[in-house]
Amino acid sequence: MLKEFAWMVGGQQGEGIESSGDILATVLARQGYHVFGYRVFSSRIKGGHTSYRVRASTRPVRTPNEDVHLLVAFDQETIDIEGPQVVPGGVIAADSHFKPQLPPGLSATLLDIPLTDLAKDSGNPLARNVVAMGATAYVLSLRLEPFHDLIRDRWGRKGEEVVAQNLRALESGYRFAEDNLKGLRFEVEPGDGKSRPALLGNYLMSIGALAAGCRVMAAYPITPASDVMEYLVRKLPQYGGVVLQMEDEIAAIATVVGAGFAGARAMTATAGPGFSLMQETLGLAAAAEIPVVIVDVQRAGPSTGMPTKVEQSDLMQMIYGTHGESPRIVLSPYTMEDAFYIMFDAFNLAEEYQCPVIIASDLMLGVSLQTVEEDALDLSRVEWRRGQVVTEEDLAGVQAGYFQRYAVTASGISPRSLPGMPKGQYLATGVEHAPTGKVTENPQNRVAQMDKRARKLSSLKGNGTRYYGDDDPELLLVSFGSTFGAVEEAREALQAEGKKVGHLVLRRLWPLPVDELQPHLEKAQKVLVVELNSTGQLRQLIQMHMGYHEKLHSALKYSGLPFYPREILVRAEEVMG
């Protein structure tokens, strides 16, 4: 009786791979399983190998793993590439149309199914992925009724005949597997029956932004961030907001800066190449002290790189990008739920500290499908904080034109008015300015304003990390972003072996939460920093600001694929000796 299983489908881009994964993940989520769906796809509309992996469990799962119990193959390339991941005794269900063959050494059972022919017989030649869903239901001992319900939900608007065709396709796949597998199937422990929503991380960030009061979103489509704009373009107008698709990323960030100056909570979402284009205007937001929020859903670079593959290699760009020296805050969600809550932090901090806030997301967190508990998104836990916005009463005694928008204060944060307030600020500039905003290159003023802007983040403390595991660890695992799930499973496996292990997650990457990191780094005998890049950017950042060179080790992956728990476990055991 399996408490957990993994299913994968593979074929060419454009063959219904994604819809197959979405169908299975949704059905499983409705039956009370915890689900994690991850797709590896090509950066083209049609053609090129792509796959979708669904991991389902009776306990929460936050990452894919390497083992596959059932592989559905639409071509031989899928068997050749993904077949080695099938567990001994697993099943490969392949379309007989391409005359499938098992490579030497695979101990899986090959189920040769005429997916294409059965789809044609159902009346819809394109429904071979639905035929495969029927075979999947049999092999994994799943009831067909939930698949019936989903087919009616998904295709009902296209008419009864389309629904009937897909139902016939589903039934034909189930019956063929039942007749030809001769009882070989996995017995899977039932889910708890509690239906859970299965959402993308990009959607959860979008919902968080909406709930946090974002009312302007300007962006240019780019993989893997486009889901944010596509979600908000449907939802934001319902709440009095607007989404603008701009001609490029430069126009997008300029629009967001303008909206932020006007007093709206505004954001953009992009990936590495688009974020690079935003650098100059990011400096304008910092110099003019305008709150903006930028989501960077990181992907593999440099240049175009691998647009549909995961990486965490924009870290240094997010912290140090743009010309000159300017304050910004960099946050990183590490779970689907945190992708929702971190948007409140982002908009609050942007207005409190009057600077850009950058969200360091990544492709795996952004476009993976994961179940979330319905009560996990609790609005009673959050609040709106707008910072030092003055009132018209505060401005009543100010001489017109002399409001000190950039007053030099001990905290580094100056009072902020909104355009339209009598006697407040109406114009802002990226040229160096005096406290009233008047342009000046006076050396003493320049130093005062630079010091003021640098000083403002010194009061940002707390809520920068999360800690899991033993208090006095032999090995401390450090991570950020989507690697959280894989690192946690590795930690639990090491603890099951009797080792003392801790896991420190950085939720704020900049300013680096030194005060929170220090006690954990001090206690640990060795530290392993896990990140999806080739140079160990987070490890370098910690070494630059804190030292600990002799303790720090790296677990790096930059193939475009996510970390699997076993890989971290092996590296951790190497470091521990």
pLDDT band (50, 70, 90) for residue 529: very high
Of the CATH numbers 1.10.1040.50, 3.40.920.10, 3.40.50.620, 3.40.50.300, which one belongs to the domain with range 4-180?
3.40.920.10
Mean pLDDT of 329-340: 97
Percent of the chain residues past pLDDT 70, beyond the cut: 100
For 504, counting Cβ atoms within 10 Å of its Cβ (0-12 exposed, 13-18 middle, 19+ buried), the class is: buried
Residues 6+ apart with CB under 8 A from 145: none
pLDDT band (50, 70, 90) for residue 374: confident
Is residue 191 within 8 Å of 28, Cβ to Cβ?
yes
Q: Does the pLDDT value for residue 563 go beyond 80?
A: yes
Give CATH 3.40.920.10 domain extents, the chain. Answer: 4-180
pLDDT of residue 184: 81
Mean pLDDT of 79-83: 96
Q: E strands, 310-454, where?
A: 329-331, 356-362, 369-371
Task: Look at residue 511 and give its three-state secondary structure.
Answer: coil
Dihedral over alpha carbons 123, 126, 128, 131 (to 10 degrees): -50
Q: Over the chain, what is the mean pLDDT?
A: 95
238-257 pLDDT, tens per residue? 999 999 999 999 999 999 99
Q: Does the pLDDT value for residue 530 go beyond 90?
A: yes
β-sheet with 49-57: strand ranges across? 109-113, 86-95, 68-73, 4-12, 49-57, 34-40, 369-371, 198-200
pLDDT of residue 21: 95
**H helix or E strand, kind and range, residue 174:** helix 160-180
CA–CA separation, 385 and 314 (whole Å): 28
Give CATH 3.40.50.970 domain extents, the chain. Answer: 199-373
Mean pLDDT of 511-525: 97
CA–CA separation, 363 and 308 (whole Å): 8
The region of weakest confidence among 87-96, 113-122, 392-401, 481-490 is: 392-401
Mean pLDDT of 373-380: 90
Q: Does the pLDDT value for residue 185 go beyond 90?
A: no
Question: What count of Cα atoms within 13 Å lies in the side-chain half-sphere of residue 133?
Answer: 32
427-468 pLDDT, tens per residue? 899 999 999 999 999 999 999 999 999 999 999 999 999 999
Q: Which of 482, 265, 532 is nearest to 370 (CA)?
A: 482
Topology of domain 465-576, CATH: Rossmann fold (3.40.50)
CA–CA separation, 390 and 411 (whole Å): 16
Q: Does the pLDDT value for residue 560 go beyond 90?
A: yes
CA–CA separation, 236 and 341 (whole Å): 18
pLDDT of residue 43: 81
Q: What are phi and psi of 321, to 5 degrees?
A: -60, 160
Q: Does the pLDDT value for residue 381 go beyond 80?
A: yes
Mean pLDDT of 155-176: 95
The region of weakest confidence among 36-45, 276-285, 535-544 is: 36-45
CA–CA separation, 233 and 102 (whole Å): 46
Is residue 113 within 8 Å of 74, Cβ to Cβ?
no
Whether domain 199-373 has CATH 3.90.420.10: no
Mean pLDDT of 380-393: 94
CA–CA separation, 314 and 307 (whole Å): 13
Mean pLDDT of 334-353: 98
Bridge-based pairing state of the strands 86-95 and 109-113: parallel
Question: What is the DSSP secondary-structure string of 189-240?
Answer: ----S----EEEHHHHHHHHHHHTTEEEEEE---TTTHHHHHHHHHHGGGGT
Triad 66, 69, 71: Cα angle to 5°: 90
Q: Does the pLDDT value for residue 182 go beyond 80?
A: no
Token pair belonging to 177: 């597997």
pLDDT of residue 426: 86
Percent of the chain residues past pLDDT 90, beyond the cut: 94
Helix axes 17-30, 128-139, angle to 10 degrees: 40
Token pair belonging to 327: 């304050």
pLDDT of residue 123: 94
Give CATH 3.40.50.920 domain extents, the chain. Answer: 465-576
Helix axes 17-30, 145-155, angle to 10 degrees: 120
Q: Does the pLDDT value for residue 107 go beyond 90?
A: no
pLDDT of residue 46: 81
Q: Does the pLDDT value for residue 389 go beyond 90?
A: yes
For 498, counting Cβ atoms within 10 Å of its Cβ (0-12 exposed, 13-18 middle, 19+ buried), the class is: exposed
pLDDT of residue 399: 87
Q: Does the pLDDT value for residue 187 go beyond 80?
A: yes
Q: Does the pLDDT value for residue 553 go beyond 80?
A: yes
